[in-house]
Amino acid sequence: MSTDAAAPALASVETIKARSRRLRGTLAEGLQDPITGALHEDDTQLLKYHGSYQQDDRDLREERRLQKLEPAYAFMIRARLPGGVVTPAQWLRLDAIARTYAERGIRLTTRQTVQLHGVLKRDLKRTLQDINAALIDTIATCGDINRNVTVGANPQRSALHAALYAQAAALSEHLLPRTRAYHEIWLDEKRVAGSGEEEEPLYGPAYLPRKFKIGFAIPPDNDVDVLSQDLGFVAHVETDAVAGYTVTVGGGMGATAGDARTYPRIADALGFVRRDQVLAVATAVITAQRDLGDRGDRRQARLKYTLDRLGLDRLRAEVERRAGFELQPPRPFAFTSSGDRFGWTQGDDGLWHLTLRIVAGRLQDSAERSHLSGLREIAAIHPGVFRITPNQNLVIAGVPGQACAAVDALVARHQLGDFRHASPLQLHALACVALPTCGLAMAEAERYLPDLLRQVQALLHAHGLGDAPLGLRISGCPNGCSRPYLSEVALVGRAPGRYDLRLGGDHRGQRLNVLYRENLDEAAVLAALDPLLQRYAAERAAGERFGDFLVRAGVVVPAVQRT
């Protein structure tokens, strides 16, 4: 057998990356083609590394097909905002850009950043230029590369948050690709000799085998769902300063329907590092995954599968060899919640922080509410920053005591204060974007969330559980963008109007839920929940959460729990 025949087949995306002249492809040419609203097929893969996806409006797909028109192509843009921090000046620019070029306002994501949807090809370059003019870029927010780095956003320990944010921002910079493709294509930087051949010392010419995600958690809060990240840093605090981090590896949510080789996975603790070792250990984990990850099968390419193939000890040895130091044993940590704290909190810096509930992260002006207008007015008077949470919510962070009343008045006027009336179920629910923009959606999620919550809330009321905290997450497909596999109750889309019902996650992000019933419509979901809620109301222990009760009562048997 020849060596070639024995080598694993390279996924076609690998070939596209390797031949792309460091992510350039023919993107610049394709942008100028006025005949189509789309880009060349290979370039749509490369575009992701520049922070954008080509999509089409799925509500219009069939109608346009019948009219023999090309799909209604438009682009989603994702910003790079480590830790979700945006200044008021930047917010005002993003708001103006969204109103000028995008549809459906601003979307806060589960990775603490903003997405714009519906940008037309002819406006794509100008939109990216305007975003960069706000001193925000979109580099590496998508694609097989390190993505937006998340940081716990709960505000009560502001000094600590500042330290972690600085560390995460530095790491995000350190992990950027070195190609100048982004600057040439979107920002008109001049091509120079060597353009297209830049060294990529960290990533190499074909970048990573698959996407890569990093999060920093500040116990006891686990709002970043740190155990769902490829690489996690759990902060250990001694005398009010970060002494170092327990490093976790191999988390991931994505699964493919019908492919049992794919699964959500909770990360394992790899070891403990000091603060000054973060860059080195991250580089070592990423290069290990670069060299040892599966490039022949994209469904097996995430770090979680590399880890399961190698085993934790071998991966640790690889990481230590590459980092040039030994990791200390992991230290114990405990989380109490993966949700946000709503309302005003005073930080240890004496300033005030207001966390607003933004349903499914969608900020829009409509007949009922004026979210964008309200945030514009707040940005105009706000001396602090905005902080997006990994639960799709928004913190107005760093408000001096004397300015709180003015912020409150604007929040009330523009109905940004839903959190004051919402039930725990409504406050903490997450939904991914799904239809009409997501090309992978099998069912509704964001658009269905309010309706679904009304139905489940009615069921809770019927059992006297109206105020019971219940974590519910819904995704339009098994990829799990709302991290549904960590939720007490999850709906995972399988087909229009049909969902797998999963139960028994905890509310701390430390236990995966379990498939309870497959492919249910709404009536069947509610019918399945009804007797379980009835039992919960009658049999729960004081303070016991629904997910924990289901496990204790033996309704579901969880596979893994990390404590």
Residues that bind ligand SRM (CB under 6 A): 53, 55, 76, 78, 109-111, 113, 115, 141, 147-148, 211, 213, 228, 252-254, 302, 361, 392, 432-433, 437-440, 479-483
- Token pair for residue 545? 């959460």
Percent composition of the chain: helix, strand, coil (DSSP 3-state, to 5): 35, 20, 45
Cα 210 to Cα 143: distance, rounded to the nearest angstrom? 7
Q: Of 136 and 407, which has the nearer Cβ to ligand SRM?
A: 136
- Token pair for residue 475? 């995704």
HEC string of 413-425 equals HCCCCHHHCCCHH
- Bridge partners of 387? 85, 395
Q: Which one is catalytic: 213, 290, 316, 494?
A: 213
Q: Which does 476 bind (CB under 5 to 8 A by kind): ligand SF4, ligand SRM, none?
A: ligand SF4
Q: Which does 483 bind (CB under 5 to 8 A by kind): ligand SRM, ligand SF4, none?
A: ligand SRM
User: Of all helices (H) and strands (E), which one includes residue 183?
Assistant: helix 181-187
The reply to whether 404 belongs to the active site is no
- Token pair for residue 473? 């997450």
Is residue 481 a contact point for ligand SF4 (CB under 6 A)? yes
Rounded to the nearest 10°, the torsion over CA 187, 190, 191, 196 is -30
Q: How many CB atoms lie within 10 A of CB 120?
A: 15
Q: Which one is catalytic: 22, 93, 111, 211?
A: 211
- Minimum CB separation from ligand SRM for residue 282, in Å? 16
Q: How many CB atoms lie within 10 A of CB 178?
A: 11
Q: Which does 301 bind (CB under 5 to 8 A by kind): ligand SRM, ligand SF4, none?
A: none
Q: Which does 475 bind (CB under 5 to 8 A by kind): ligand SRM, ligand SF4, none?
A: ligand SF4
The reply to whether 78 belongs to the active site is yes
Is residue 255 a contact point for ligand SF4 (CB under 6 A)? no
Is residue 510 a contact point for ligand SF4 (CB under 6 A)? no
The reply to whether 142 belongs to the active site is no
The reply to whether 190 belongs to the active site is no
Residues 423-442 that bind ligand SF4 (CB under 6 A): 432-434, 438, 440-441
Q: Which does 119 bind (CB under 5 to 8 A by kind): ligand SF4, ligand SRM, none?
A: none
Is residue 115 a contact point for ligand SF4 (CB under 6 A)? no
Q: Which one is catalytic: 17, 78, 111, 180?
A: 78
User: Of all helices (H) and strands (E), which one includes residue 236?
Assistant: strand 231-238
> In the 8-state DSSP scheme, what is residue 329?
P
Three-state DSSP at 82 gives helix
Q: Of 21 and 298, which has the nearer Cβ to ligand SF4?
A: 298
> In the 8-state DSSP scheme, what is residue 146?
B
Q: Which does 463 bind (CB under 5 to 8 A by kind): ligand SRM, ligand SF4, none?
A: none
The owner of tokens 């040892």 is 292
From 9-17, 141-149, 260-268, 473-481, span contacting ligand SF4 (CB under 6 A): 473-481
Residues 6+ apart with CB under 8 A from 98: 105, 106, 116, 372
What are the angstrom distances between the C-alpha of 542 and each of 92, 242, 463, 545?
A: 46, 34, 16, 9
**Residues involved in catalysis:** 78, 147, 211, 213, 432, 438, 477, 481
What does the binding site for ligand SF4 look like in residue numbers (CB under 6 A)? 432-434, 438, 440-441, 445, 475-477, 479-481
